[in-house]
């Protein structure tokens, strides 16, 4: 592990590298991107052959198809898959390929992606993330508790005298985690919202007594209602978030709790869906083993109306609304199909204040399943009415709604709004 690089990155990101205007930042980005492009022209067989200007868009499917020619370290797709799957089976993620570690993206839509990181990239990643996420008032002597579904080398990079990191494998029993947490007493807790909610519940039921000064939500969408509940249970004024995926470290919250894009390591282009919503197209200018150039993600981001009070020149994001594949598609009354964004679906359940845990799944263009616990007949009727109103407003055929009990499986990502249509 390159500790020196981790430390120098930390110092640079935390104290040295500052931009006083958008203009300055964009000039910096332009230089960094052009340097990255010439590196890729030299080292990536795919890009050395590519004459298109600007570069063509990339996405996960295309990246997997051209995996062998794209990466700059000569790793073949089969080998990489083998290493990654081996890790998932044995839950031992130490194995890597010539200093390169391999991570799998959880492909909900069936196509899994493989992502490579070198030791250098890992050190830069760890240095950047620590510089951004360690509290202002207390920098050292933190105990981090980190809940994850799959580990790999990336997450083992952070370990030193000043920072302790304990890793909690989400495939193991929750009771054991509680005992370990009670003993470990983390000062910073990093976990997906579904785990944070279970921990909050355990605190309320007095099975858990921990007092983290900072909570960082990762890997799943943090819903506003869940966020409020977590603030209350942990007595914190801000729940922090990291927007990170196998494609990169893309954003994180500032002290004010606003999510900012990490524009010092990634350039963002926007494919607008409407005035505020967009799909990000990312160009990572730090990553060298696997190029991320004009790579289109299918996350729906919502731009903030106003700049953040923290004064950062990095773009503020109101929220991550969901994924492209979770836009509901209904039978239109006037046109064939009507697309409805996750937020409109959420709003139909907003008035049911007694329900925090719920899930809405679209299973066919005229069918919804709503999972929640203990809904009265009246509440169910109200929900059906809300959807009828939405259907009338947006001119689509009113869907049939079935109600089912709610359960969150520990091994699965929590998604409140989901579309699973064959």
**Which residues contact Zn ion by CB under 5 A?**
254, 256, 258, 308, 310, 312
Q: Which residue's CB is nearer to Zn ion, number 299 or number 315?
A: 315
**Least distance from Zn ion to the Cβ atom of residue 254, Å:** 3
88-112: buried (b, 16+ CB within 10 Å) or exposed (e) per residue?
Answer: eeeeebeebbeebbbbbbeeeeeeb
**Least distance from Zn ion to the Cβ atom of residue 307, Å:** 8
Residue 339 tokens read as: 């697309």
Burial class (CB in 10 A: 0-12, 13-18, 19+), 225: middle
**Least distance from Zn ion to the Cβ atom of residue 257, Å:** 8
Measured between alpha carbons, how far is 142 from 400 in angstroms, rounded to an integer? Answer: 50
57-76: buried (b, 16+ CB within 10 Å) or exposed (e) per residue?
Answer: ebbbeebbeebeebbbeebe
Q: Which residue's CB is nearer to Zn ion, number 317 or number 417?
A: 317
**Least distance from Zn ion to the Cβ atom of residue 24, Å:** 17
Q: Which residue's CB is nearer to Zn ion, number 257 or number 332?
A: 257
Q: Which residue's CB is nearer to Zn ion, number 231 or number 256?
A: 256
Q: Which residue's CB is nearer to Zn ion, number 310 or number 313?
A: 310
Measured between alpha carbons, how far is 2 from 253 in angstroms, rounded to an integer? Answer: 26
**Least distance from Zn ion to the Cβ atom of residue 132, Å:** 11
Burial class (CB in 10 A: 0-12, 13-18, 19+), 246: buried
**Least distance from Zn ion to the Cβ atom of residue 136, Å:** 12
Q: Which residue's CB is nearer to Zn ion, number 261 or number 340?
A: 261
Nearest one of 324, 148, 319, 320 to 246, comparing CA atoms: 148
**Least distance from Zn ion to the Cβ atom of residue 172, Å:** 36
**Least distance from Zn ion to the Cβ atom of residue 229, Å:** 23
State the Cα angle at 387 between 386 and 390, rounded to 5°. Answer: 90
Q: Which residue's CB is nearer to Zn ion, number 110 or number 311?
A: 311
Any alpha helices (H) in 249-341, and if so which ranges?
A: none
DSSP string across 3-53: HHHHHHHHHIIIII---SSHHHHHHHHHHHHHHHHHHHHHH-HHHHH---S
Q: Which residue's CB is nearer to Zn ion, number 203 or number 310?
A: 310
Measured between alpha carbons, how far is 39 from 117 in angstroms, rounded to an integer? Answer: 16
End-to-end CA distance of the chain: 45
């Amino acid at each position: 592990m390159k500790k020196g690089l981790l430390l120098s990155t930390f110092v640079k990101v935390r104290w040295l590298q500052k931009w006083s205007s958008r203009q300055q930042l964009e000039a910096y980005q332009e230089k960094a991107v052009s340097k990255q492009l010439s590196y890729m022209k030299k080292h990536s067989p795919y890009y050395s052959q590519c004459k298109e200007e600007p570069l063509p868009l990339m996405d996960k499917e295309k990246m997997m198809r051209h995996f062998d020619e794209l990466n700059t370290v000569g790793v073949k797709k089969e080998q990489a898959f083998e290493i990654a799957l081996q890790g998932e089976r044995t839950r031992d993620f130490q194995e890597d390929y010539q200093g390169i570690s391999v991570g799998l993206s959880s492909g909900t839509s069936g196509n899994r992606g493989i992502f490579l990181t070198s030791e250098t990239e890992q050190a830069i990643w760890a240095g950047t993330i620590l510089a951004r996420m360690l509290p202002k008032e207390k920098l050292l002597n933190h105990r981090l508790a980190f809940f994850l579904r799959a580990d790999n080398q990336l997450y083992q990079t952070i370990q030193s005298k000043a920072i302790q990191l304990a890793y909690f494998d989400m495939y193991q029993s929750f009771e054991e985690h509680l005992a370990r947490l009670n003993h470990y007493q983390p000062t910073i807790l990093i976990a997906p919202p579904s785990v944070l909610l279970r921990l909050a519940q355990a605190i309320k039921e007095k099975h858990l007594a921990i007092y983290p000064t900072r909570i960082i939500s990762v890997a799943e969408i943090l819903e506003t209602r869940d966020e409020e509940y977590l603030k209350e249970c942990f007595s914190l004024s801000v729940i922090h978030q990291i927007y990170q995926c196998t494609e990169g470290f893309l954003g994180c919250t500032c002290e004010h709790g606003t999510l900012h894009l990490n524009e010092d390591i990634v350039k963002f282009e926007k494919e607008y869906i409407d005035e505020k919503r967009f799909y990000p197209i990312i160009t990572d200018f730090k990553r060298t083993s696997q190029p991320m150039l004009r790579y289109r993600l299918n996350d729906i981001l919502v731009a903030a109306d106003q700049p953040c009070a923290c004064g950062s020149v990095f773009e503020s994001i109101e929220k991550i609304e969901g994924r492209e594949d979770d836009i509901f598609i209904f039978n239109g009354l006037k046109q064939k199909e009507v697309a409805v964004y996750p937020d409109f679906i959420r709003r139909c359940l907003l008035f049911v204040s007694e329900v925090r845990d719920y899930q809405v799944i679209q299973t066919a263009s005229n069918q919804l399943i709503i999972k929640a616990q203990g809904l009265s007949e009246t509440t169910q009727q109200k929900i059906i009415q809300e959807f009828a109103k939405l259907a009338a407003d947006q001119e689509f055929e009113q869907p049939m709604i079935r109600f089912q009990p709610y359960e969150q499986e520990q091994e699965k990502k929590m998604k409140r709004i989901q579309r699973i249509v064959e």
